[in-house]
Structure 1
């Protein structure tokens, strides 16, 4: 029987090669994990273990959180939530220098709280905000970079699909992860606002001021989004203070989205069919990825690779801060060549024991890992949010978008460092609320 860290390392190298060759992440994780388990514990035991993982995963109550939140998001697509959120923000700050950039960040934050996806947030808000910024004479690099950076808020601000997946794979409380992500999400948005403020202060022509909206116009804009804001606050706040569990909050969110779509007279059979179809398609894909990741995690655990990696890092004697910086650097490097979800699912079983050995909690690591994933979405030359934005603004070269995003990347690195230096940014709120 084979049981060495070397086997686990070979499995990871094979996994890397298959992913870089374009293999489907869920299938690759499952097949490599199953093949590795076959070598280590034998074919019969490997099949039994994989079967137990599949049944156990698909019958977990908290897994119902994901499709319900996805259904809520798809319903909000139908009621033009992104346009209304951006318009409301623009009415309040659009008259300021760089105001539409601020509004884009606010719109991304609001829409990210609805759908939990960086790519969807970037694409949807980009289609609304970029033409307005173009029309008002905003610099193309500032416009595209602001939306691409703001789009990453979709992964951090609850309810986050990435945090749900991490919670299932790492067997952590999804509600506690959501609560822990609130302060980092807010501080991330504020740092992006600070970047825009600095840029337009140094070069006012980058984001010229627009016309001031009247208070009646502002009230009308708020009137178009009040029910969305109330639902999002109820869902996130209810989880944070313990009124209901994440699956219950997801059910409330889905029912609330149905009610809002009906009130706006956009709830039709076609709308429902599209929302159900897209939800089932996305959910099936994510379930396959989660099951594959769990099988692969068992393989990594059986080989002892995680323990060996932890012993290696501990032997370096870098201390807590040094260990976390090394982990951050590894995640940032891998994030330039791997899809964010692949990065999370591949590295969680290896890095989580190291981080816990350094004295940090799994909740802190989950938020930190998602934050590192977001940086990968913005890092040239493979940052996927940048290419999504280029697909929206087809006349802008990708090199211009690369240059424009550099100040926001600097803010991301500062934010990661702050999370390492001050773990309370992540842990204070869930500890205070006792979630």
Structure 2
């Protein structure tokens, strides 16, 4: 009686209302999904189904990737990775006009490969880069906009927590998703560099030149990050080339991070306690969200909502590009009011079948939705990265940060359009490496 698309639509609206009201995303997904299954299947079958989903999720081998990469990031925090990455980039680029802004983007990319979180990348690099840029006369708008946008590289540069979660929900290869993210991640970074170049070309005063670092200073700065870069290259390259599974690569990453921390004399019992505590807290939160999302996904599947929407879209006969542009518009609208993870978990069960109907692969959609999430992080007025940056630079008005991030936001929209028009941006490398 209740197993119809209307019930699924009511569930989606209720979930959206709970998220806007501030209910934690994992609890909202689980409650709506479980409640809907109880309504359709009955109390006992719904409880049994949800229990099976929870146990199956917690015992999945590939899920070990997530806490291992989080622990790797925590160990690199202790090793002062953010400061070393920015200093190395600044020593090579700082003498150029806008060089510290380029260095901030490079530092965000490097730290994003370690950390995998947009918010953490923006906050950590912001604490290092913003004081340096402002001290050397950079415009507040350029400085804050650069770091806010650069922080979103944390979600795209592998290993990415968002892509791990998507891979689990969509039942796709995490290794393939990481490989598919490499080219979009690099081109996104190049787009940001192009924005900086154009801004300082037309307004040189917003980014004065700094003193040129000598080669001795550059080599010392490079020597402080070469071990981290080698480990990152081994982890990402090992996954992309098929030498190791993502879980094996994450284990090697943790072992390497422990060794690097020990060699830098930062390994101690209090540091390990803090790293393990943060890893358990973050992993537990994400696992709750994933289980809730899978229960909600089953509810959506049982109601037939995704099939009904797919049939509706097909009936309009818009064609692949127009359909994907419509999906992108929906994601951008929702991304301006929803947290990035909430956006992914809410929309994947509904939109993935539609995307597949127009001939796009789930791997491409994983990269596509990750880019849409990133745009949500810097989309005024609710982009979370913008408020993270304001927390670091408390004397900069939020409107100034909005102004600074706007050129980068426009480049993000262009990048997303290119991803639609040229799917090979995401699919070429995985195909070559197969």
**TM class by smaller structure:** over 0.9
Distance 1:373 1:206 in 2: 29
Structure 1: unaligned runs, 5 residues or longer: none
Contact 1:116 1:159 in 2 (8 A): yes
Contact 1:69 1:254 in 2 (8 A): yes
Distance 2:12 2:46 in 1: 18
SS in 1 for 2:338: coil
Residue aligning to 1:57: 57
Residue aligning to 1:8: 8
Distance 2:342 2:309 in 1: 19
SS in 2 for 1:394: coil
Residue aligning to 2:75: 75
Show CA shifts across 1:248-307 (max 9, x none): 000000000000000000000010000000000000000000000000000000000000
Counterpart check, 1:131 vs 2:131: yes
Show CA shifts across 1:161-187 (max 9, x none): 000000000000000000000000000
For residues 32-431 of structure 1, what are the structure 2 equivalents within 5 Å?
32-431=32-431
Distance 1:108 1:243 in 2: 27
Distance 1:123 1:141 in 2: 16
Show CA shifts across 1:316-345 (max 9, x none): 111000000000000000000111000000
Contact 1:336 1:383 in 2 (8 A): yes
Distance 1:384 1:35 in 2: 30
Query: Structure 1 segments of 4 or more deviating over 3 A?
Result: none
TM-score by length of 1: 0.99
Distance 1:272 1:389 in 2: 28
SS in 1 for 2:66: helix
Task: Give the total of aligned pairs.
Answer: 434
Give 1:368 shift: 0.3
Give 1:2 shift: 1.8
Distance 1:98 1:287 in 2: 41
Show CA shifts across 1:40-71 (max 9, x none): 11111111100110110000000000000000
Contact 1:4 1:305 in 2 (8 A): yes
Give 1:315 shift: 1.1
Give 1:193 shift: 0.2
Distance 2:233 2:419 in 1: 25
SS in 1 for 2:188: helix
Q: Which shows bigger deviation, 261-270 or 42-51?
A: 42-51
Show CA shifts across 1:208-232 (max 9, x none): 1100000010000000001000000
Give 1:401 shift: 0.4
SS in 2 for 1:379: coil
Contact 1:2 1:41 in 2 (8 A): no
Distance 2:158 2:131 in 1: 28
Tell me how large the CA RMSD over aligned residues is: 0.4
Distance 2:206 2:308 in 1: 51
TM-score by length of 2: 1.00
Distance 2:406 2:339 in 1: 20
Distance 2:205 2:85 in 1: 25
SS in 1 for 2:374: helix
Distance 1:117 1:401 in 2: 20
